[in-house]
Amino acid sequence: NAGVTQTPKFQVLKTGQSMTLQCAQDMNHNSMYWYRQDPGMGLRLIYYSASEGTTDKGEVPNGYNVSRLNKREFSLRLESAAPSQTSVYFCASSDVSQGFYGYTFGSGTRLTVV
């Protein structure tokens, strides 16, 4: 049971480059999320998708775009990377429809923008 799988695990980008972080879950969860984690700031929500076909902004959406490709996959795209986007990115999923509201997290992507 893989849970939530994120790729890549590590990435170094130059300022202005673009990249897509991939996330897939195999638990048939409806909701998926992208967070970033920075020292002293805690986890902050970038974007979320309550269900397939919908996406909404979180606390810190600027500089990012997302795609809910299907129920399993939720990708995060940086169109023009900036040093301020250096962070650890986590994808998560949850399912409220079955009475369980817990979250499952991926192992994270450590991104450095130079």
Classified as helix, coil or strand, 55 is coil
Question: Which residues are registered as beta bridge partners of 13?
Answer: 113
Cβ 80 to another protein, closest distance in Å?
27
- The least CB distance from residue 108 to another protein, in Å, is 5
The residue among 73 and 95 lying less far from another protein, judged by its C-beta, is 95
Q: Quick one: 71 or 103, whose CB is closer to another protein?
A: 103
Instruction: List contacts with another protein (CB under 8 A).
Output: 4, 30-31, 33, 40, 42-45, 48, 50-51, 56, 58, 90, 92, 94, 96, 101-108, 110
To 10 degrees, the CA torsion angle through 35, 108, 33, 43? Answer: -30
Alpha carbon dihedral 29, 34, 38, 40, in 10-degree steps, equals -60
Shortest distance, position 47 Cβ to another protein, whole Å? 11
Interacting residues of 38 by C-beta distance below 8 A, sequence separation 6+? 44, 87, 88
Closest approach, Cβ 61 to another protein, in A, equals 13
Residue 18 or 54: the one with the smaller Cβ distance to another protein is: 54
- What sign results for the dihedral spanned by CA atoms 106, 95, 33, 87? negative
